Structure 1
Amino acid sequence: MASSYPLAQLSSPAPSAVPAEEARQEGFELPAHTSSVARARARLRSRLQHWGLTEELGHTAQLVISEFVTNALLHTDTVRIRCRIQLEGERLRIEVSDEGTQNCAPQPRSATEDEVNGRGLQLVGALAQRWGVTARGARCGRVVWAELGISSVL
């Protein structure tokens, strides 16, 4: 079962200051298990519907969170994954943090025609206004984040 966690635990570039009533956010934690990819998508979809955002934006955001959670599962030794979504003005920010001990950041790669995997971060780069990785310190994992414009998704 997903549990809530204090949002202040995530370290990432601070968004611009906006009055609290204009910013909406939610954080949740999931175990490092393959079923958590679908759970993260469902939780995100539910929150975006609650906030009254478009289905198109929901599909794009679900692709992003799926990629980030899958990468945390496949490429780190984390035991839990934290997700944070924040709507501020015309921007939706999605963050996924892990507790991995590796000192590497996810990097887009060029997949060959025959490869099944390897295009996810290229898709994120094409869909997001900005995305990046913030280290949380030595042996403390990282936060992978993306920002989607809520009016730019058609």
Structure 2
Amino acid sequence: MSHVWRPLFVALAVVATILCMRLVLVPDDFGIHEQGYMYGWHRKGNETDWKNIKVKYRTTAYCINCHKDKYLDIKDSPHAAIMCENCHGPALGHPQDPRTLEINRSRQLCVRCHFKLPYPNSARGGIKGINPATHHPEAECVLCHYPHNPLRAAVRKEAKR
């Protein structure tokens, strides 16, 4: 009968050890707050630390203030759901240092979303895709396509200026 009890006692000892270590290692303010039990990586004691961290991404609402023309171009286009910083990088430090945002005209940026993928039943499969090896590989996409509103050709947009 000892062959049954020994593993059971070992398992109980392991569980008891884990629970004791949890009491010692996990802070008292971890996970339980005024909203009831909240299971997650949250401590009331370090909220101030998190508030002091600068946010890298500011969302499109931040960009509209200075770039209303670009926002008006993109808001009714297929790219409307894409945040500005997905293509231009995080706005942390902008506009104080304009070089913090990149204007990336490389094909690799566009191909991140527009590489033709065979997913007909997903939203990703619905994005118009190309084969970058055969679709004008010598040219940057922005020579023909206006990225803020791809339904309008870049050449026509530039001609209006």
Pick the structure with more strand per residue.
Answer: 1
Range into which the TM-score falls when normalised by the shorter chain: under 0.3
The two structures have a TM-score, normalised by structure 1, of 0.27
The two structures have a TM-score, normalised by structure 2, of 0.27
Pick the structure with more helix per residue.
Answer: 2
- Which of structures 1 and 2 has the larger relative contact order (alpha carbons within 8 angstroms, sep 6+)? 1
